[in-house]
Amino acid sequence: MLKKVLVANRGEIAVRILRACRELGLETVAVYSDVDRNALHVRYANEAFNIGPAPARESYLRVDRIIDVALRAKADAIHPGYGFLAENERFAKACAEAGIVFVGPPASVIEAMGNKIQARLTVSKQGVPVVPGTYEPLRDDDMIAQAEKIGFPLMVKAAAGGGGKGMRRVERAEELSPAITRARSEAASAFGDDSVYLEKIIEHARHIEIQILADSKGNVIHLGERECSIQRRHQKLVEESPSPIVDKEMREKMGKAAVRAAEAAQYVNAGTIEFLVDNERNFYFLEMNTRLQVEHPVTELVTGVDIAKEMLRVASGRPLSVKQKDVRLNGWAMECRITAEDPFNGFLPSTGKIISLFEPTGPGVRVENGVYEGFEVSLYYDPLIAKLCVWGPDRPTAIMRMKRALSEYKILGIQTSIPFHQKLFESTAFIAGHFDTAFLDERFTMEQGGDEEHEKVAAIVAALLTHDRRQHAIAIPPASSSARAGWKKFRSWESMGR
C-alpha cells in the first residue's frame, strides 16, 4: 500500500491529484520552481521542495532533482499529472530504478505508444481502424512518393509529437518538401526526435476520445467518450461527455476498439484512445495518450468514477474498483479551459497579479483551480489556470448551467479566455451540436460568432430556452396588505424588545 505520493507537477492538476491523495489518507509532497514558491499546490501539500529556477527545463523537467526529492522525502510513488514528464519513458524508468512507483503505465508502454508511428502499427494489427497514412519512418524522398498514394490534403506529423507541435497541413505536392523540413525541425527542437510521418486529413472530422482504465490483473474497461472537437490550432478549449453525435451502438463499437487497443499495448493504469470521426460517423484511431487527460473531470461527472483515485489504486497493485458492466453514463458534463490569454488579441498570453477572484458555485458546478487572489501569473508555463466544469441531466441544462457559471466567474488583473467561452456558448451552431475540429478556425469569430447560416436554429433554440426558463421560474407575488401589516407588527414588537 502507498503511504506518501510526490506530485511532479504544478497548477490545477497538481491540486487535483493532491486532493485525491488526501481523500485516500495519503501523505503528499509537492515540488516547485522559484517562481512557484507561493503556488496553490505548494500550500496544499504536506511537504514541499524547491527544484530549481523558473524555466521548466531547469525545474519541472529535471528528472534527477525530482527523484532526489522523492528519495529524501521517502515518497513511495510519483504521480506526474499531465505535461512535463507525464509521458517521458526515461522518467518512468528512473522511478523504477530508484524503487519508486510511477503512477502511470510501464516505461515500455509509454515508449511504444508515445511513438505515433509504432502506435498506429500496434493497434492496426488488432483490427482497430486507423487514419490512412505511413507506418514507418521514411526518408524525405520516400515520403514524397507515399504522399501521392495517400492523396492530398494530408498532414505531416511528428512521431513523438503532441500539443500541436511538429504538425504541418499540406494541400498540394509542391508544399510537401518544405513542410517536412519545418516539421522535422520543430519536432527535433520540441521532442529531441525529428521522425515524422504522413496522415490523411479527414476533412471536418469530429475529435472523440475514449477514456480507458486498466489494472495489473488483466482488467481493461472504458468509461465512454468525450467530445473534444472545439479546438483552436489543435489545442482543445471545450470538452463534453457524452458526445452529441455518439449513440449507444457507436459508443459500444468505439469502446470495444479502445479496449482492444489498450490490450494490444499491454496497458496498465489510466489512458485515452483518441479517434477522428468522419461525416458518415466512421471512426479512426488517431493516437493514445498514456496519462491523465486535462478533460478527465467530465468523464468523472457522468460516470461517478474518480479517475485520479483509480490511478493510485492501480499503482498500489490493487484491481480496479469498477467493472465494465457497472459503467453507466448519467446526464451531461461540460468543461471550459480557463486560460490566461486575451481572446480579443489572438489569444496572446496574459501575465500579472490576480487582484480579484470570484469563482462560481451552486448546483452542478465544479472548479479545478490552480490560482488564487494575489497569485502572480507568469509566462514560464502553460496558460491554463483553471477548468470550469458543469453537470446537468441533459445537454441543454448543462449549457444553461455553464452560461450561468461563466457569468459568475470573475478574474481581475489579467486577461482570460472567459469572454471567448461566453461567446461560444451563445453560438447557435455550438448549441445545436453543429461543429467539428475546424469550427473555431474557419467559422467562428469573437465579433460575429460565425453563425449567420443558423438564424433559424437560433430562433428555435432561443424559444426553447425561454420556455424552459419560464417553466422553472419561481413566481414571487407582490406582498399583500396582510403581509405588510404582519411585517409592521413584527417591527413594532421588535422595537419593544419582545
Q: Cell numbers 489504486 label which residue?
A: 313
Nearest-angstrom CA–CA distance, 49 and 41? 11
448's CB contacts (< 8 A; 6+ apart) are: none
Q: Quick count: other Cβ atoms within 10 Å of Cβ 18?
A: 25
Strands of 259-364 (E only): list them.
Answer: 269-277, 283-289, 332-339, 341-342, 348-349, 352-353, 356-358
Please list the residues that pair with 236 across neighbouring strands.
231
Per the annotation, the verdict on 291 as an active-site residue is yes
Distances (CA, A) of 158 to 61, 367, 373: 21, 34, 39
Q: Is the bond preceding residue 242 a cis peptide, omega within 30 degrees?
A: yes
| Amino acid in position 463 | A
Nearest-angstrom CA–CA distance, 48 and 226? 34
Nearest-angstrom CA–CA distance, 49 and 28? 11
Nearest-angstrom CA–CA distance, 179 and 176? 5
> Active-site residue among 10, 16, 62, 291?
291
DSSP character string of 249-274: HHHHHHHHHHHHHHHHTT--EEEEEE
DSSP summary character for residue 480:
P
Nearest-angstrom CA–CA distance, 173 and 381? 37
Nearest-angstrom CA–CA distance, 35 and 418? 25
Distances (CA, A) of 426 to 159, 191, 418, 432: 38, 38, 13, 11
Nearest-angstrom CA–CA distance, 78 and 30? 10
Active site residues: 291
